[in-house]
Amino acid sequence: MGAVTSGGEPGHDTAKSLPAIFLATTRTLLRALGAGWSRLLDATLFTSRTRLRALATGVSQWLRAAGYLRKWLVLGVALGCIAGLGAVAFYQALRLGTQLFLTDLAGYQVPTPAGEGFLAGSSHFARPWLLPLVVGLGGLLSGLLVFTLAPEAEGHGTDAAIETVHDNPRGVRTITVAVKFIASALTIGSGGSGGREGPTAQISAGFGSFLARTLDLSPSDGRIAVAVGIGSGIGAIFGAPLGGALLSAEILYRDDIEVEAIIPSVIASVIGYTVFAAFMGFGPLFGYAAPGYHFSQPLQLGWYALIGVVGGFIGLAYARGFYGIASAIGRVPIPRFCRPAMGGLIVGAMGLAIPEVLGTGYGWVQMGLGPQLLSLPLWLVLVLPFAKIVATSLSIGSGGSGGIFGPGMVIGAFSGLAVWRLLEPIAPAIPHTPAPFVIVGMMATFGGIARAPLAIMLMVTEMTGSLAALAPAMIAVGLATLIVRRADDTIYRAQLRNRAESAAHRLQARMPLLGSLPVAEFMATPKVILSARDRSGAAADQLVRERLPGAPVVDERRAFVGSVTAARLLEVAGADPDAELGREADPTTPTVAATANLDVALEALINAKSNWVPVLDDARRVVGIVTTSALVRGYRAGLQRNLRQISQVSRDVAVVDATVAEGSPLAGRSLADARLPVGTLVMTLQRGTEQLLPRGDTVLHPGDRVGILTRRADEHRVQGLLAGCDTPDEPDQNRRSPLL
């Protein structure tokens, strides 16, 4: 007898349910199989990561024991190899993208420089109606990739690398580098105006960041590793190792230089260039651009000075135009991933009239160095620098991915060409070819606005093989730099003004005593150390019970994996309380070696996202934590030791270390008006957890803790004034302020 359905028809429900039963069974089996594979994969990855961490621990121990030369020889070679290989990989990816989008789809061959075959390029567009769509498609694909996987990969990338140096050298995510690589190949390969140095710099800078966190490099070594990555990557892909080495140190600041990065960068840049050139050739990018030129007429200095003035103002137009257009595009009410497509459509339309704005533009620079562009109308030559500025701003400022270094060179080259075209018919002592003006235009325009004049001069010299143009170029670059400095602008907004604005350099300069105080003396024992195998729900409950903001996470060898915050754990536990903790641990967390001093801990705390950092032994095991309050205690301890040493030098000197009481007559007075006994010096002043520099206009507050040097005869009087048991002396017009 058949089964009875709700509708009363026998057998119908059974037959209908068979496919559903089959599908449900299949899904269950697939889920079980998937869960099993997932567990197996997690176990395999966990084991692999554990072994890699063990290997990294051994390398880290060796590096700590190695001297400066051996350490940076090893790290420099590693960074250089990655810079060179990354440059080769991106160069090939860009060639593939250009072939696919522009050559195959749009039917247009872009010109190339001498170092890349010196192709003349197409004289017309085979399918002009398709060009805007192709450039827009590249922007759309790039935008989808960037804003889906790694939004920090948008834009030109060099600013992001500079920020990494200053903020947290361990903070570059691996996925950011991969996304930048692909998105830049899509943006530039489809015809978007951008440079290939930004992605290359981010690849090697990302590897420097990887070394910093994997090998537990000190914060200062991590900063150098990332900076070296920037310069060696750019130097490799431009075939300019000396300029790239200097760029590592010069690009971080507007008016300063990171001297510690120069020697490591020389090693990395030479290796990076050698690796890249072994695949791509050792000749200069633009060949030997001005072989017959010799600077032999002093009158030419006036024309080169004019190039410097023009280059300075064109550089300012580049920086302000780029960020102005980027800001305007950011206000367009469309999804972020669509903005690069919008910019691409406009650039493609511009390219129909001015093809020089498409792609990197290096082939057009090569033509400008010779006679090929002399047939262009003068108005077009004058428009070219500004057209390239607009195209780059639309391609990269819209959220597309690519560099702004290369376009800056192209803009400078077109500026020099424009000056030569204007002067050539009327001015005396003008070179018979535009090459010297094009070369100097590149140096002046981008060297000034990048605030890296020395590095850019050397790089352009290496790229063009034109040492003879270096001497007259110096006056042009100097004038361009002065114009940009007076306007106080830069194309790289992440640059700090100087080392004094760097938090690490500034605080270490103000608190030098930290360099003599060991971390082990002031670190605390962690209340909670979590295992990577722990579940997020249980770990979150434990942190809440202990009222902790976060905790370090270790693997099965008790080696440090990363750290987690209570807020993040609560969020994860709410979605999946059984999620393994190892997946949520932040590996970019700064750490401090147990053998280090507090100055290293200070820089690690500056880079950290919390007020504590883990302290690790040589095997990367967590042996403690150091906090901001521990640094303050350490600094005070160091000051007290120094004060005691000073007081022991003379029997007539005493040290008073006390707190300003509520009823003290000194409360509410500035140090200049405190009228302490003659010969008294206020050495230290602590307000809460903040160390203040005692000055004449510093007003004392109740609760301030001060360290004072005074005569032993006045010791009790000073203590009484601080405690409110005495009154200040009468004013003495001849008394000096009690300051250090």
Compute the average pLDDT of residues 496-522.
Answer: 78
Residue of 354, 350, 362, 413 lying closest to 380 (CA atoms): 354
| Distance between start and end Cα atoms, the chain | 106
pLDDT at position 57: 76
CATH code linked to domain 300-499: 1.10.3080.10
Quick: pLDDT tens for 618-658: 888 899 999 888 887 777 777 677 666 665 555 677 778 88
pLDDT at position 60: 78
Kindly list the distances between the CA atom of residue 568 and the CA atoms of 110, 586, 598, in Å, as whole numbers in the listed order.
Answer: 49, 10, 28
> pTM (2 decimals)?
0.80
Asked if the domains at 504-631 and 650-723 fall in one CATH topology, the answer is no
Q: To which CATH superfamily is domain 68-280 assigned? A: Clc chloride channel (1.10.3080.10)
Residue 626: strand pairing partners: 613
| Secondary structure in 3-state letters for 625-671 | EEEHHHHHHHHHHHHHHHHHHHHHHCCCEEEEEEECCCCCCCCCCEH
pLDDT at position 375: 87
- % of the chain residues with pLDDT over 90: 42
Quick: pLDDT tens for 223-260: 999 999 999 999 999 999 999 999 999 999 999 999 99
Quickly count: other Cβ atoms within 10 Å of residue 382's Cβ. Answer: 16
Measured distance CA(584)–CA(572) in Å, rounded: 8
To the nearest whole number, what is the mean pLDDT of the chain?
Answer: 85
Higher pLDDT, residue 218 or 355: 355
Kindly list the distances between the CA atom of residue 201 and the CA atoms of 230, 449, 489, 523, in Å, as whole numbers in the listed order.
Answer: 4, 19, 22, 37
pLDDT at position 86: 92
User: Residues 6 or more apart from 575 whose CB is under 8 A from it?
Assistant: none
> Assign residue 76 a region: left if phi > 0, alpha if psi is -120 to 50, beta otherwise?
alpha
pLDDT at position 6: 39
Q: Which two tokens stand for residue 63?
A: 């590096």
CATH 1.20.1630.10 fits 504-631, yes or no: no
Compute the average pLDDT of residues 148-177.
Answer: 84
Residue 232: is it exposed, middle or buried by C-beta count within 10 angstroms (0-12/13-18/19+)?
Answer: buried
Quick: pLDDT tens for 73-119: 999 999 999 999 999 999 999 999 999 999 999 999 999 999 888 88
Domain locations along the chain? 1-54, 68-280, 300-499, 504-631, 650-723
Q: To which CATH superfamily is domain 650-723 assigned? A: Regulator of K+ conductance, C-terminal domain (3.30.70.1450)
pLDDT at position 435: 93
Residue 13: is it exposed, middle or buried by C-beta count within 10 angstroms (0-12/13-18/19+)?
Answer: middle
